[in-house]
Amino acid sequence: MKKTCLLIAAAACFGLTAQIAMADIDAEKIYNGKCKMCHKIDKKKMGPGFALMNSDEAVLKAAITDGRKSMPKFSSKLNEEEIDAMVAFIKSKQAEVK
């Protein structure tokens, strides 16, 4: 029982640490610097606007990490936390424009 409580407490702390770390990442600033020139928030520019992007988090993360047909990969430009923050940012904007 003690081990179970300890594991739950550790998992909760790890989760909070990850949320705090993501809160320090300015995903909108990353978007403005790396994505805005091709992706408008509310409609298509060169690439799809947020409303037209896939809403599956795994697909979004893979697209940002590995790139797409005409989209560069960002795995060498963004760390995993920044990519996760970008996925969360896209999801929040998708909810706003729908």
- Between the alpha carbon of residue 36 and those of residues 28, 44, 48, the distances in Å are 10, 11, 11
Q: What does the mean pLDDT of the chain come to? A: 80
For the entire predicted model, the pTM comes to: 0.71
Parse the chain into domains and list their residue ranges: 26-97
For the cut 90, the answer to whether the pLDDT of residue 52 exceeds it is no
Q: What is the pLDDT of residue 7?
A: 43
For the cut 70, the answer to whether the pLDDT of residue 49 exceeds it is yes
Q: What is the CATH number of domain 26-97?
A: 1.10.760.10
The residue with greater pLDDT, 79 or 9, is 79
